Chains A and B, each alone.
Chain A
Amino acid sequence: MYKIVQKRPLNSSVTLMEVQAPHIARKAKAGQFIIFRVDEEGERVPLTIADYDREKGTVTIIFQIVGESTMLLNQLEVGDSILDFVGPLGLPTHVEPGAKRVCVIGGGVGNAIAYPQAKSLHQAGLQVDMIAGFRSKEIVILEEEMRAVTDNLYIMTDDGTYGEHGLVTDKLNALLQAGNHYDEVIAIGPVIMMKFVCAATKPYGIKTLVSLNPIMVDGTGMCGCCRVTVGGQTKFACVDGPDFDGHQVDFDELMKRNSFYRDAEAYAKEHVCHLTGGKRHA
């Protein structure tokens, strides 16, 4: 059992939780993830490690409430425990040695994962620009935190209610056209956004790292549910990733695979949301 020591809503659908898991906190590195199972009937769900505190022995996760499992997780409060919490899984983010200036791009809740990346790059002495995209003003998260670890922070909203009006790729294209040079771009967010970021950087030949989010079961390489095609080869995102060279990734295939259980997910969400008011054993 893994005790929740802090819980804080970042916006109406995104929650931050700090969880007691000393053995994971001791080893975690930026880019790795955990798998949680909320209770005995729960499914195993992967979440990127947003932060860790080796001394306190805690791991921070930030999740969007999108379906049954994240709804059930969000029912838990400080002092409650998560049944299973496994990690750190996957490979840490590997930034090109010698890189001096990078652009980190986050989309929606992906910013929760892009932020610790920006932070670790900033701490490593790199110049970090960040483009953080959100649908609209109400869901902007971690702005102060991101500002503290970046040289330039560009907040974009789809509807123009905050920051600049437009998509992250609009800003990226503008920056590149204006002659900004980046040794590497790191994009984390919805698959479609990562796909278009890669399309934007390709003509400039900028190495682009993406953090993939396929469906996972065990997260340790024993099932291949999370397989993705990278450079024509089958890779297991849970052990070979989750970070990959975005110019090699078959994004269309990933989008199709991620939609496989959409009906079952919608049904489960409906059930937990409306019939039981968010509780499993009502």
Chain B
Amino acid sequence: MPNMSMQKNPMPEQAPEVRNKNFDEVALGYTLEMAMDEAKRCLHCKNQPCVSGCPVNVHIPQFIAKVAEGDFAGAYQEIALTNALPAICGRVCPQENQCEGKCVRGIKGEPVGIGRLERFVADWWMEHGTQQVQRPAPNGHRVAVVGAGPAGLTCAGDLAKLGYQVTVFEALQTAGGVLVYGIPQFRLPKEIVAKEVDALKQLGVEIQTNMVIGKVDSVDELFQQGYEAVFIGSGAGLPRFMNIPGESLLGVYSANEYLTRINLMKAYRKGYDTPIARARRVAVVGGGNVAMDAARCAKRMGAEEVYIVYRRSEVELPARAEEVHHAKEEGIVFKLLSNPVQILGDEKGLVKGIECVQMELGEPDASGRRRPIPKEGSNFVLDVDAVIMAIGTSPNPLIRSTTTGLEANRHGCLVADEKGATTKPGVFAGGDTVTGAATVILAMGAGKTAAQSIDAYIRSKQ
């Protein structure tokens, strides 16, 4: 009998006033009973709209059926057929726009908690999984992957399963890309990322950290070294600033810097050397997930007051609804329809405030969102001692400027077709480096597609 409850089983989480003082994971995950009960809400529709909503087409009803039976190992095997990083996806995918957005149960009531179930299964496997990953027989071909973020790791995992000898080159000291430097510990524990990366290594994927491609070796040189194809998943890591007065004051950070110090360098933990200034009042400029992450980190670093400064209104906030909800619960104050015009400093060059102007919404612009227009004479000052700019990123020019025959568009994004092929034969690309800043799961989808294209490309040469 299916469970006909209209609501999802709620996920236990830390109370807001407790969690906004620690970096432990907010959502605690389903218990065995909750997972099995939730799994019974799936109606096993014939046309499986949820699967089409998943960028990597996880066999959703099949794995959920196994959860309902209590066969968690079987459920994991089912997910692993198409998804190399389920513990991560279950946590950070915007399921409301993907699998769960298409779930039939969502028409009347709440959709099945697919993300929560995927997370449960992946976590269960990490704790109880016994089966060794089978290392596939090598097919004798080598592929290089540039960037160990979600796109690169997925591509590498899929190619390794097909028998390719894959080397991933990562510029930072730790594999994971935005999963390790961007998304904070309280949303995605780094131990989980490390375990998923270890699983890829067991598949035979070699990961070389501290390798800045374009500086140590160029893409062209990778071919000379015998790699038959190269996948570029180098992301969009170049931060934007607003070019307003005061951006070089002490206490103004890009979100990338602020989050990297905290997440990758563990500035929040005692015993780690990387410093971070303790701010009392913080303004985070922007309204995406990165802005929410930065604001929630600032709160956990002890700030008394943290503002989100966003130039449009609440409905236009690009962040996931759940992240906005969590931020509000934790006491983040939203200054909507507000746009910074300058950052104010004291005689030592330290930030002492941010001057903003109020905005109103005009006609929709090219992006379809209503264009914010400043209201003359409505300037106001927020008293803050740190400002974090989270207004977006673009691809780092290092790869495109050091690779012959690789075209980029006017935003600096690599040009690639829907199969991930770039303008240079043998070079494939996917994720943020092609799309500009987007989501983890879209990057994984692109990595998956590119792996298929690379396989077809190398076979076609034989």
Contacts and interface: CB of A to CB of B under 8 A. Distances in A.
- Which one of B171, B217, B396 has the highest number of Cβ atoms from chain A below 10 Å of its Cβ? B171
Nearest to A35: B210
A84 interface: yes
B176 to A, nearest CB: 14
Interface stretch (B131-139, B152-160, B257-265, B324-332): B257-265
A44 interface: yes
Interface stretch (B2-10, B195-203, B266-274): B266-274
B216 interface: yes
A265 B272 contact: no
A103 interface: no
A217 interface: yes
A87 B272 CA distance: 23
A42 B349 CA distance: 28
A268 B256 CA distance: 24
B212 interface: yes
A190 interface: no
Contacts of B256: 222-224
Interface string B172-208: 1100000000000000000000000000000000000
A199 interface: no
Contacts of B260: 217-218, 222-223
B238 to A, nearest CB: 6
A220 B396 contact: yes
A69 interface: yes
B53 interface: no
A239 B243 contact: no
A84 B212 CA distance: 13
B215 interface: yes
B275 interface: yes
A229 interface: yes
A234 interface: yes
A224 B239 CA distance: 7
Contact of B248 (A83, A84, A234, A261): A234
B265 A220 contact: no
A23 B247 CA distance: 36
B333 interface: no
B248 A37 contact: no
Interface string A253-280: 1001100110011001000000000000
A257 B209 contact: no
Contacts of B209: 84
A24 interface: yes
B250 interface: yes
Interface in B226-281: 237-239, 241, 243, 247-248, 250-251, 253-254, 256-257, 260-261, 265-266, 271-275, 277
Given A43-B265, A86-B171, A239 B257 contact: no
Contact of A43 (B210, B239, B273): B273
A86 B247 CA distance: 28
B437 interface: no
B410 interface: no
Contact of B396 (A69, A84, A217, A221): A221
Interface string A229-262: 1000010000100000000000001001100110
B173 A217 contact: no
A106 B419 CA distance: 53
A152 B209 CA distance: 44
A20 B266 CA distance: 27
Q: DSSP class of B's interface residues: helix, strand, loop or mixed?
A: loop
A234 B273 contact: no
B398 A221 contact: yes
A41 B237 contact: no
A27 interface: yes
A81 B277 CA distance: 30
B250 A89 contact: no
A71 to B, nearest CB: 11
A52 interface: no
Interface residues of A, number: 38
A273 to B, nearest CB: 14
A221 B215 contact: no
B184 to A, nearest CB: 16
Interface in B78-109: none
B40 to A, nearest CB: 44
B297 to A, nearest CB: 15
Scoring A84, A253, A260, A265 by chain B CB atoms within 10 A of each residue's CB, the highest score goes to A260
Given A23-B216, A44-B265, A223-B260, A84 B173 contact: yes
Interface string A69-100: 10000000000000111111100000000000
A68 B273 CA distance: 8
A23 B211 contact: yes
B237 A221 contact: yes
B212 A89 contact: yes
Given A23-B211, A86-B210, A89-B215, A260 B271 contact: no
A119 interface: no
B241 A257 contact: no
A234 B171 contact: no
B248 A220 contact: no
Nearest to B218: A27
A90 to B, nearest CB: 9
A69 B173 contact: no
B396 A234 contact: no
A186 B172 CA distance: 31
Contact of A220 (B171, B243, B250): B171
B411 interface: no
Contacts of A257: 248, 250, 349
A37 B273 CA distance: 10
Nearest to A84: B173
B261 A23 contact: no
A41 B277 contact: no
Contacts of B238: 221-222
A23 B222 CA distance: 13
Nearest to A267: B275
Contact of B173 (A24, A41, A83, A260): A83
B348 interface: yes
B257 A224 contact: yes
A43 B261 CA distance: 9
Most buried by A among B217, B266, B349: B349
Given A68-B273, A253-B248, 14 more contacts: A27-B215, A41-B272, A41-B273, A217-B257, A218-B260, A220-B237, A220-B398, A222-B237, A222-B260, A223-B256, A223-B260, A224-B239, A227-B248, A234-B243
15 contacts: A41-B271, A43-B265, A44-B173, A69-B273, A87-B212, A89-B212, A218-B260, A220-B237, A220-B398, A225-B253, A227-B241, A234-B248, A256-B349, A257-B248, A261-B275
